[in-house]
Chain A
Amino acid sequence: MYLHEYQAKEILSRYAIAVPEGRVADTLDDAEAIARDIPAKKFAVKAQVLAGGRGKAGGVALVATSRAVREAAKDMLGKVLVTDQTGPEGCIVRRVYVEAGVDIERSLFIAAMIDPRTGQVALVGSRQGGEDIEDQAARDPAIMETLVIDQAAIPAASDFADLADRLDLGDGLRDAAAAFFEKLYGAFKELDASLIEINPLAVTTDKQFVAVDAKIVLDDNALVRHPELAALRDTDDLDPMEMEAQRHDINFMRMDGNIGVAVNGAGLALATNDMLADAGGRPANFMDIRTSATSTQISHGFDMIFKTPGVKAVLVNVHGGGMTPCDTIAEGLGMSMQRTGRKLPIVVRVAGNNADFARVVLKNCGIAFYDAADIGEAVDRVIAIASGEAAA
């Protein structure tokens, strides 16, 4: 789960990580009032959307007066912000964050995350912060300094100090930097985060570490033990269909094509969409039915496909296994077609557990479907139907 910058900063300040004084506003009056309240000579106004790349896209303004804060907020609130991470549809800016400007002497990049190679927590830092850090790191991985922390041992202060040295934070800053890294690591563990990224991390002219921007991603699987964090979810920023699917144990993601796709298992779903795209088809969605889903839950997944405008045909690709035999998915399809009353051409490819039984279930539900022998045939057929080249 992604958090907004204003939420991330509020949480980090609980861990004694310094952030510029600021508050969130959803009206121009509030934005201006906050600026008048904060004793500062300059301000940053930042669009609160769940995507990076805001600076280059006009989502961050640096201004000198409360009046100018209002003007900057006016350019953002209610507008659609398109960054290189939002996709072409962009995000609507519903709130802005107004904070005191910081006198930066140096800016760095620091992040806490899971190192996939060791399966341990790692702090990753770079001597220079900035918006294009990922591109820089892709060109020159050596700019990143990494500290992998062994969970079985209590991390030594000297490890954090060593990272500080490698980031050229020696001399007068080493102890403060090491203490900062330790706080960041503590926050990461306690929050069950997948990522805490502070970019830029500023060293101010009075030698303080200040998180000028902060991004927190929380582990969805751990939210059950953090109800207060789960409550921070910004439902405005999520696709209502995708949220509905999550409630029914189905991973659903809307795409822009005309072929509805239902598959069991994420890997098989990715493989199916790859084959559709290779053959010139356009999936309307990605849908992965999880192993524990019941036929009722699955029927809600199909409802979402049938409710998607522009869908011309549906591909059902199931390799029945463990807890999800093919007939359970056939039952879900039958329930959904009865409930929604939508009659779309259906191409079915079933294999594995109870494949024959699934065909019987579909027939008993009165569903006409094309019975494909393998994924390749199913993909070709559904594309031909969706493009009008073949009859259903």
Chain B
Amino acid sequence: MTVLISKDTKLLCQGITGRAATFHMGRAIAYGTQLVAGVRPGKGGISHLDVPVFDRVGDAVTETGADASIVFVPPANAAKAMIEAIEAEIPLVVCVTERVPVMDMVEVKAALRGSKTRLIGANSQGILAPGICKIGVMSTVHEKPGTVGIVSRSASLTSEIVAQTSAAGLGQSITIGVGGDPVHGIGFVDCLEMLMADADTQSIILIGEIGGTEEEEAAEYLQASKPEKPVLALITGRHAPVRRRMGHAGTLSLFGSGGAAEKIKALKSAGVHIAQNASTVGETMRRIASAKK
């Protein structure tokens, strides 16, 4: 048993007939994920990847008992799709769509409040429990069942850290990509709460970057809760030119500087270990884990 997903998770795919969805769902099925249904308005009644396709999320849930959804719907309609899944009370929704307008995500956040749904993304690579269940678009080459929970704002960097923690003999209990956009579903703090309570997770790696307030909020939470499990953080963008946006969003500075130095300082003072660079995360985590034993 792990957090959010398990071998029994029944997955629905919104936008299942698209090229990317077809490709990634094929891989997820091969990985062992139970895909039970697809949704594509106007194509209800057909079968795709050997699962029934519905016009509406509500019908798919009633007919198949799906308890998780992955959204591949293009940016213009992605928010509508997420809100439909929230209204159908699906417990876990993962959105991998990139370039969703921010105001649309603001609407989605409003719909999430008081709902029964936990949203991961948008612009997330998804969630992976190695050897158990994959709901996402991440590579599955180097992952290995184990004890490290990885929470990240960046997809390819997560794969890198997964490879390193596998090579260090630790493996992963779960990897969660919260997404690279300024407004998104669950954040670092939600993930930390879940992983601190998860019996399979013995240590946690946070992969953060410049911009936003995720890391500062995580520091505040850890400062207050003083958890026993060690947390290691890698913060990227230490040498990025200031005031320029690089790929992911650099949020405006009025709600805090968003700078790497400030984030590292806040995390350090909350007792978080800081990785020197992206190449040494696995080794650093191994040292921390063995010192704890």
Contacts and interface: CB of A to CB of B under 8 A. Distances in A.
Contacts of A267: 152-158, 180, 207, 209, 236, 248
A273 interface: yes
Contacts of A134: 253-254
Given A120-B110, A151-B109, A219 B102 contact: yes
A151 B236 contact: no
B106 A265 contact: no
Interface in B160-189: 160, 163, 180, 182-184
Contacts of B109: 118-120, 151
Nearest to B208: A267
A271 B156 CA distance: 11
Contacts of A138: 253, 257
B239 interface: yes
Contacts of A292: 20, 98
Interface string B189-233: 000000000000000000101101100010000000000000000
Which interface residue of B103, B107, B154, B253 has the most chain A CB atoms within 10 A? B103
B38 to A, nearest CB: 19
Given A120-B106, A120-B110, A353 B277 contact: no
B29 interface: no
Contact of A270 (B137, B152, B240, B280): B240
A107 B172 CA distance: 55
Interface stretch (B39-47, B54-62, B63-71, B138-146): B138-146
Given A114-B106, A116-B251, A119-B106, A321 B159 contact: yes
Contacts of A120: 106, 109-110
A286 B246 contact: yes
Contacts of B236: 267, 270-271, 274
B83 to A, nearest CB: 11
Contacts of A320: 139, 141
A144 B212 CA distance: 18
Interface residues of A, number: 69
Nearest to B158: A267
Contact of B278 (A151, A195, A264, A268): A268
A116 B101 contact: no
Given A194-B102, A375-B279, A352 B159 contact: yes
Contact of A251 (B113, B184, B209, B246): B246
A115 B278 contact: no
Contacts of B257: 138
A347 interface: no
B139 A322 contact: yes
A253 B159 contact: no
Nearest to A115: B255
B289 interface: no
Contacts of A114: 102, 106, 182-183, 251
Contact of A319 (B139, B152, B184, B210): B139
A323 interface: yes
Interface SS of B by simple majority: loop
A353 B139 contact: yes
Contacts of B98: 290-292
Contact of B160 (A224, A268, A290): A268
Contacts of A150: 110
Interface in A266-309: 266-278, 286, 288, 290-292
B229 to A, nearest CB: 23
Contacts of A318: 156
B163 A319 contact: yes
A137 interface: yes
A113 B252 contact: yes
Contacts of B26: none
Contacts of A222: 101-104
A220 to B, nearest CB: 8
Which interface residue of B23, B155, B183, B254 has the most chain A CB atoms within 10 A? B254
B136 to A, nearest CB: 8
Nearest to B20: A323
A214 B260 CA distance: 29
B237 A274 contact: yes
B76 interface: yes
B137 A116 contact: no
Contacts of B237: 270, 274
Contacts of B213: 116-117
A113 B102 CA distance: 11
A341 interface: no
A277 B154 CA distance: 20
21 contacts: A111-B254, A119-B109, A119-B183, A120-B106, A222-B102, A225-B101, A265-B155, A266-B248, A267-B155, A270-B236, A271-B160, A271-B236, A274-B277, A274-B278, A286-B246, A318-B156, A319-B163, A320-B139, A322-B125, A352-B159, A375-B279
Interface of A: 85, 87, 111, 113-121, 124, 134, 137-138, 144, 150-152, 189, 192, 194-195, 217, 219, 221-222, 224-225, 251, 253, 255, 263-278, 286, 288, 290-292, 318-323, 325, 351-353, 355, 374-376, 379
What are the nearest 10 A-B pairs in CB distance? A267-B154, A266-B247, A265-B156, A271-B278, A222-B101, A321-B139, A322-B137, A267-B157, A119-B109, A277-B239
Given A138-B253, A251-B246, A379-B279, 16 more contacts: A114-B106, A114-B183, A221-B102, A224-B76, A225-B101, A268-B160, A270-B236, A274-B239, A277-B238, A277-B239, A288-B247, A321-B125, A322-B155, A351-B142, A351-B160, A355-B141
